[in-house]
Structure 1
Amino acid sequence: MDAPVIERRATAGITASGRVLSGYAAVYGVDTKIGGFTERIAPGAFKETLASGRDVLALADHDQRAVLGRTKTGTLTLHEDGHGLAFTLALPDTQAGRDVAALAQRGDLGGMSFGFVATDEVWRGDTRELRAVELHEVSVVQAWPAYEQTTVSVRNRPPQVGIFNGRELLWLDTCD
């Protein structure tokens, strides 16, 4: 059986304060240029993967030799909200984990990325909408992300969730 061709998309925005990364690995409804076409992610695109219990890895720069966490062990948690695919990642005490934490604290990371296989997509002209994807991994990237709206921050405390004006909000503590 051939391995699936996994596509990768990256996003930006990292700040630091601790050993737990939090933020968004993907955001919904944002157009981004990928080579010669435009792509956007539809709300719910990750629903099937998350419901399946698939083991999704957290990697450094899509490098399978630099595992930072995984869903099956609980060191990576993922959930969808109205903004996109949110994640929390407890960094390991490995060289890769220490490097990511140090770069995040300095503000030197490029953002987040995700590796996937599209299972439901719609093309309208040169615009591709991802309606469902089989998620394989999320990655902390050191360079430039494709989706600049994603965020990552290093945290000491878990995110705080609340309702404001009828909208669910997620507060993250960060430091300068």
Structure 2
Amino acid sequence: MPDNTISGYAARFGDETIIANSFREKLAPGTFARTLKERDVVALLDHDSGRVIGRASAGTLTLREDRIGLWFSLDVDTTTPEGQTALGTVRRQDIKGCSFGFNVRVERWEDGGDRLPLRIIEDVDLWEVTLTAFPAYPTTSASLRNADNAARRLRSKAQAAHRLRGIS
């Protein structure tokens, strides 16, 4: 039975990106801590609110902040066209990144000197995480977890090692 779970990082702390060729931006650790306690976040395909593929309050989207960033796990419904699209495009790695929809609550700016100014986001109201082919932060990730294949590979490797030692 295939695993229908997509997981990865919708955002990563400390990684810089350039927004609209106007400024640099990065996320501070703790950016999502408050909002994850207060809001019901949805998962979408390419920021399209008509293509909902998960929701925290429904138990189909799990979000947590760790030392790396905003990690997610999405239990995809294969009976919907959106779910089939999400699984297919992530499985093939046509989509392998994420983005997120938010309002900034706390930010600070640093002068860039001879570089673009830097916005450091410290707190947001998070509305959604999204699977997208064009993430603003290229270090985000989305991949299909396939526990069955991983277990099969591990078993196969162990069996090969046993055969080499003459163990059946």
| Range into which the TM-score falls when normalised by the shorter chain | 0.7 to 0.9
- Shift of residue 18 of structure 1? 3.1
1:124 corresponds to which letter in structure 2? E
Matched residue SS, 2:90:
helix
- Give the counterpart of 1:107 among 78, 89, 93: 93
Matched residue SS, 1:38:
strand
Deviations 1:49-82, CA, capped at 9 Å, x for gaps: 1122x11000001111100010001100000000
Q: Which has the higher strand share?
A: 1
1:155 and 2:145 matched: yes
* Contact 2:9–2:141 (CA under 8 A) maintained in structure 1: yes
2:118 corresponds in structure 1 to 127
1:136 corresponds to which letter in structure 2? W
1:144 and 2:130 matched: no
1:144 corresponds to which letter in structure 2? F
Distance in structure 2 (CA, Å) of the matches to 1:83 and 1:111:
15
Identity %: 44
Q: Which runs of 4+ in 1 moved over 6 A?
A: none
Distance in structure 2 (CA, Å) of the matches to 1:66 and 1:26:
20
- Give the counterpart of 2:4 among 8, 19, 24: 19
Extract unaligned runs of 5+ from structure 1: 1-16, 158-172
Aligned length: 142
Distance in structure 2 (CA, Å) of the matches to 1:110 and 1:83:
17
- Give the counterpart of 1:83 among 45, 68, 71: 68
1:30 and 2:15 matched: yes
Extract unaligned runs of 5+ from structure 2: 112-116, 152-168
TM-score (norm 2): 0.80
Of structures 1 and 2, the one with the larger relative CO (CA 8 A, separation 6+) is 1
Higher Rg:
2
* Contact 2:98–2:130 (CA under 8 A) maintained in structure 1: yes
* Contact 2:93–2:143 (CA under 8 A) maintained in structure 1: no
Distance in structure 2 (CA, Å) of the matches to 1:154 and 1:148:
18
Distance in structure 2 (CA, Å) of the matches to 1:107 and 1:135:
25
- Shift of residue 110 of structure 1? 4.3
2:33 corresponds to which letter in structure 1? K
Distance in structure 2 (CA, Å) of the matches to 1:152 and 1:111:
5
* Contact 1:25–1:150 (CA under 8 A) maintained in structure 2: yes
2:128 corresponds to which letter in structure 1? E
